[in-house]
Amino acid sequence: MDALAHNPIIESYLDYLSAVRGFSENSIQSYEYDLILFFKFLKIRFNKVPKEMLFEKISYSDIDLPLLTQVQLIDLYAFLRFLSKERDNTDYGRSRKVSVLRSFFTYLCNKEHLLPHNPTDELENPKLPKHQPAYLSLEESKHLLDTIDGRNKTRDYAIITVLLNCGIRLSELTGIRINDIKEDTIRVTGKGDKQRTIYLNQAVLNALSDYLLLRKAENTIDIPWLFVSERKQQMSNRAVQHMVKKHIIKAGLDPDRISVHKLRHTAATLMYQYGHADIRSLQQILGHESVATTEIYTHLDNQSLYETIQNNPLASMQKKEDHNNKKS
């Protein structure tokens, strides 16, 4: 894409993502890429460019509010079909773009009040294949965290950060008290009232620090529970489940595939695949009685299995040449 081309509407939206919603630079670039694709598609859809023009040559700088006002639900579905047929987007890729479009048009309609209607109100996510594993990839996990928003953003971000990094159970999360946090560790109470200590990484420490500062500013720091509801009470399991589902949907992910428990599954999988955690360490972190239970979290994708075989120290060995055959 033309790095020199600009569109003031996209620029304004990206400024909002950065300044207000605190998106990372990588996420902002991803959103920009998706919107540029959409704007170029609109030029084709509304016959603003010759049919023979190469997609890469289409300018998007002149897309304005009057044209965006014309966008209807049928145009959005046409865009998703274009992504599938012409751009070879995966189901997740198209689902992510649905999330971007929802956020973009909601910004124009509800934040800036620049459009009379939101064409994404009835926009559905592409159906994801049932065979997809029930855990988030690293990319999906980052995307979920980047899209957390709303009046309880700081609390919700802290909760999901803890779930994705520590792999604790739902009941363990809601049972945490503020005094269970000691420097870089947290004490949780698992099944059978057994307690264990989990070390916290920097992402969790930062998220909890921001949340506790907010609690202090709101004069709720005296409430013993770590995570509290808007009614200033201990958050219930159901409230956390509802909150996580809301953000899963907002991120364009499948709420039927991903739940609070699947975030625990995700944490264990990421620790195993990227943190090189051994099975015994995972068992202790997750609080499993039997290591056999932990083994279900150690699935690897085909690429990991391939790399494991290729990295065998004997992989480069070759059969020595037979000297007798060589003489003959």
Question: Do residues 101 and 242 both lie within one domain?
Answer: no
Question: Do residues 191 and 234 both lie within one domain?
Answer: yes
Catalytic residue among 169, 215, 247, 262: 169
The answer as to whether 53 is a domain residue is yes
Question: Do residues 102 and 237 both lie within one domain?
Answer: no
pLDDT at residue 266 in the model:
87
297 flagged as catalytic: yes
Q: CA–CA distance from 40 to each of 4, 56, 81, 284, 317 (Å)?
A: 15, 9, 15, 51, 53
173 near 159, Cβ under 8 Å? yes
Q: CA–CA distance from 210 to each of 63, 154, 168, 204, 277 (Å)?
A: 39, 7, 20, 10, 28
Helix (H) or strand (E) holding 192: none
Catalytic residue among 191, 232, 238, 242: 191
The answer as to whether 74 is a domain residue is yes
The answer as to whether 239 is a domain residue is yes
What burial letters (b/e) apply to 152-168, b meaning 16+ CB within 10 Å?
bebbbbbbbbbbbbbbb
Catalytic residue among 45, 187, 261, 299: 261
The answer as to whether 123 is a domain residue is no
The answer as to whether 294 is a domain residue is yes
Residue 239 amino acid letter? A
Q: What is the mean pLDDT of residues 172-198?
A: 90
Question: Do residues 177 and 288 both lie within one domain?
Answer: yes
pLDDT at residue 131 in the model:
45
Per-residue pLDDT tens for 236-282? 999 999 999 999 999 998 888 888 988 988 888 888 777 776 777 77
Question: Do residues 287 and 197 both lie within one domain?
Answer: yes
31 flagged as catalytic: no
96 flagged as catalytic: no
Q: Which domain holds residue 174?
A: 138-300
User: What gap in Å lies between CA 163 and CA 51, rounded to an integer?
Assistant: 49
How many domains is the chain built from?
2
pLDDT at residue 130 in the model:
46
Strands 185-189 and 181-182: antiparallel
The answer as to whether 311 is a domain residue is no
The answer as to whether 1 is a domain residue is no
Catalytic residue among 96, 264, 265, 272: 264
Per-residue pLDDT tens for 38-66? 999 999 999 999 988 999 999 999 999 99
Question: Do residues 65 and 144 both lie within one domain?
Answer: no
What pTM, to 2 d.p., does this model score?
A: 0.55
Q: Which two tokens stand for residue 59?
A: 């300018």
CATH number of the domain where residue 283 is located = 1.10.443.10
The answer as to whether 313 is a domain residue is no
pLDDT at residue 205 in the model:
95
Q: What is the DSSP string of 254-317?
A: -TTT--HHHHHHHHHHHHHHTS---HHHHHHHHT-SSHHHHGGG----HHHHHHHHHT-TTTT-
User: What gap in Å lies between CA 137 and CA 168, rounded to an integer?
Assistant: 18
Mean pLDDT of all residues in the chain?
A: 85
pLDDT at residue 293 in the model:
63
242 flagged as catalytic: no
